[in-house]
Structure formats: C-alpha cells, structure tokens
Amino acid sequence: MPNLKVKIGKLKLKNPVMAASGTFGYAQEFKDFIDLKNLGAIVTKTITLKPGQGNPAPRTCETPAGMLNSIGLENPGIEGFLKEKLPFLKKIGTPIIVSISSEKNPDEFVILAKKLDKIKEISAIELNISCPNVRGQKIEDRRQKLISQDSKATYEVVKSVRKVTTKTLITKLSPNVTDITEIAIAAEKAGSNAVSLINTLTGMSVDINTRKPKIAAITGGLSGPAIRPIALRMVWQVYQKIRIPIIAMGGIIDTSSALEFFIAGATAISIGTANFINPKITIEIISGIKRYLIQNKIKSIKEIMGSLKI
Ligand SMILES: Cc1cc2nc3c(=O)[nH]c(=O)nc-3n(C[C@H](O)[C@H](O)[C@H](O)COP(=O)(O)O)c2cc1C
C-alpha cells in the first residue's frame, strides 16, 4: 500500500484529503454518506465570535463550471459551536481544523484562538482572513480591503494569534489579489504553519429578465472547476516562495484534478463545491490517489509533491 501520510505543522494526517470550510457543515451533515474517520481532516464552517445570520437570500447560483455563493459566514458563534457542534466532531477520530474569522475586528481572532487553544480535540486553527462575503451591504463598504489583501495586515493578524496558541496554525488566502505570494510570505514570517489556498474569487451574475443580480448581495464568491486553473497557478507560484506546506483547493472534483495540485506543490488538498454534487467525493478521491500511486509504482504521495517537470 502506498504511504499517504503527510504532516502539517504538528498535525499528522493519515491521508492528505480534507473537506473544505463551508462546504461540509460541521461534518454531521455528511455522516450518512461516508465514514468520516477515513478523511485526512475536516475543516469546519467558519466560526465567528458572535452568531451570524449570513447574507439575505438568494445566496447561491450556478455559473458555467461553478457556482457563486454569498453565504456570509452564517454560523452559531463560538459558544454555540462549542456546545452544539463540537461534541459530534470530537467523537469522529479525524483531525478537526476549526476555521475562524472576523473581518471587522481583528482582535476577535485572538479571543477565538485563545478559546480553541484549550480544547485538546481540536487539532488546528484555520484563519479565514479571505472571506469575500462578510463586509457591509453598502456598495461603498466593499471597497474596504480584506485582511488577506494586505501583507502587513496578514502579518499582524497571524502574529497576534501565534502568540496565544501552540496549535497548528493555517492561514487561508484570497485569490483576489495582485500577487498572492506576498501574502503567503507574510503569513509564513508571522508563524503560520501552513497556508490554505484558494478561497473564492469575487464574481457576479445577472438575470437578464429581471435585470437583477442573481444573488442578493450582488457579488459573491466563485468556486468549482471554473477556478481550478487559477488556483493551480497560485499554488505553483506560492510553492516556489515559501517552505511551509500548502493546502490546496479550488475546483477539485476528481482524482486527476486532485493530483494536479500535488504535482504543483501541495502537501494536502481540500474539496469544496464538489461535495454538493457528490457527497462521497472525498472518499472516492482518496481511493483514486491510492490507485494512481500503485499503478505508477510510487511508494509515497510525497514523491509527487512539487514534481512538476518544466
Ligand atoms: C457555499 C460555500 C461556502 C463557503 N464557506 C466558506 C467558509 O465559511 N470559510 C472559508 O474559509 N471558505 C468557505 N468557502 C470556500 C471554500 O472552502 C473553498 O476555498 C472554495 O470554494 C474553493 O474550493 P472549491 O472550488 O473546491 O469549492 C465556501 C465555499 C462555498 C461554495
């Protein structure tokens, strides 16, 4: 059997396939479809300090080879998460990565991280500094930058969280930038143990009959196969500039699209939108990767990481 084990910070994964934040709920939603303990890791929907209702509906629509969403971090808040969601997650036996966010007040990242640091069943914290759907509804507010659109702000948030937790820290980056490598370098310098990329690309869609935007927040995050070549290009660029592991995502829907990312330099991959099409896709991709390694007589997944031939 080929070796699928990888390490991300202190986190040891039995295989490098994760479920991406916001597309897998709090795992319970998928328990009837797959054996959750076979996943490499599970990333929760992003949690904020206070409960969030998210954006007004409609919040999703289909696009060519993808979808737009403007869920806007609907979540039960940290206390609701600890009480209602964590007990189930603790029992699974798969590493749990809790995604946290606050675009309006960066100090909240520190408060959230301090609370999570105390819980031994939580394996890692992912800093979602890249959600494009949480700013005010007013158009003028949208000009405000995301933390992950500024290398200094990224450095400061990661650094401040690093001081309060010894858990593996992952920073999730936005593709809505000119040069993602600058942001990745800032996260690494500030002590992040890994980077996750990419979050969604800002996009929009119009209903020509009503002349209204198809989602109420006007713009939303584009995900799915449509963004894969961009995600892959960014993983490749970042891989050449940092030494910490990359958790790659963006349009992975099958084994071959997953493998593309390992070859470009990813240490692990995460599946998002594809979970909505096929809730068993994570497990199918783990089997597919094993098959590919066996067929090609490759002993360990590590052998293909960053093996792009130029
Ligand atoms: C409906 C939906 C909700 C999402 N919610 C979150 C979230 O709460 N936090 C986060 O970091 N990313 C969120 N994402 C982004 C995904 O985790 C992922 O980065 C992105 O969709 C690209 O991967 P994919 O093409 O495989 O979906 C969301 C994506 C979708 C489609």
Inside any domain, residue 60: no
pLDDT band with cut points at 50, 70 and 90 for residue 145: confident
The pick from 17, 18, 21, 130 for probing ligand 1's pocket by mutation, whose C-beta has the most ligand atoms within 8 angstroms, reads 21
Question: 281 CB under 6 A from ligand 1?
Answer: no
Question: 99 CB under 6 A from ligand 1?
Answer: yes
Catalytic residues: 131
pLDDT at 143 over 60: no
Prediction pTM value? 0.97
For 29, the domain range is 6-55+71-202+224-304
3-class SS letters over the chain: CCECCEEECCEEECCCEEECCCCCCCCHHHCCCCCHHHCCEEECCCECCCCECCCCCCCEEEECCEEEECCCCCECHHHHHHHHHHHHHHHHCCCEEEEECCCCCCHHHHHHHHHHHCCCCEEEEEEECCCCCCCCCCHHHHHCCCHHHCHHHHHHHHHHHHCCCCCEEEEECCCCCCCHHHHHHHHHHCCCCEEEECCCEEEECEECCCCEECCCCCEEEEECHHHHHHHHHHHHHHHCCCCCCEEECCCCCCHHHHHHHHHHCCCEEEECCHHHHCCCHHHHHHHHHHHHHHHCCCCEHHHHCCCCCC
Task: Assess contact for 147 and 154: CB atoms under 8 A.
Answer: yes
Number of compact structural domains in the chain? 1
Inside any domain, residue 215: no
Buried b (16+ CB within 10 A) or exposed e, 139-163: eeeeeeebbbbbbebbbebbeebbe
The pick from 45, 127, 199 for probing ligand 1's pocket by mutation, whose C-beta has the most ligand atoms within 8 angstroms, reads 199
Cα–Cα distance for residue pair 136/122, rounded to 1 Å: 31
Q: How much distance in Å is there from the Cα of 59 to the middle of ligand 1?
A: 13
Q: How much distance in Å is there from the Cα of 273 to the middle of ligand 1?
A: 7
pLDDT digits (tens, 9 = 90+) for 186-204: 999 999 999 999 999 999 9
Cα–Cα distance for residue pair 279/29, rounded to 1 Å: 10
Mean pLDDT in the chain? 95
Inside any domain, residue 185: yes
pLDDT at 295 over 70: yes
Tallying the residues shown for the chain, one arrives at 310
Q: How much distance in Å is there from the Cα of 152 to the middle of ligand 1?
A: 24
pLDDT digits (tens, 9 = 90+) for 208-239: 999 999 999 999 999 999 999 999 999 999 99
Atom of ligand 1 nearest to the CA of 270: 26
Atom of ligand 1 nearest to the CA of 22: 5
Return the CATH number at 228: 3.20.20.70
Residue 133, pLDDT score: 65
Atom of ligand 1 nearest to the CA of 231: 22
Inside any domain, residue 212: no
Inside any domain, residue 66: no
Question: 148 CB under 6 A from ligand 1?
Answer: no
> Long-range pairs for 284-287 at CB < 8 Å and ≥24 separation?
284/254, 284/255, 285/17, 285/252, 285/254, 285/255, 285/258, 286/4, 286/15, 286/17, 286/38, 286/39, 286/40
pLDDT band with cut points at 50, 70 and 90 for residue 307: very high
Inside any domain, residue 1: no
Q: How much distance in Å is there from the Cα of 23 to the middle of ligand 1?
A: 6
Task: Assess contact for 185 and 242: CB atoms under 8 A.
Answer: yes
Instruction: Using alpha carbons, select from 236, 242, 247 the residue that is nearest to residue 269.
Output: 247
How far is CA 120 from its chain centroid? 22
Percent of the chain with pLDDT over 90: 93
pLDDT band with cut points at 50, 70 and 90 for residue 136: very low
pLDDT at 144 over 90: no
Q: How much distance in Å is there from the Cα of 310 to the middle of ligand 1?
A: 31
Inside any domain, residue 159: yes
pLDDT digits (tens, 9 = 90+) for 46-100: 999 999 999 999 999 999 999 999 998 899 999 999 999 999 999 999 999 999 9
Inside any domain, residue 65: no
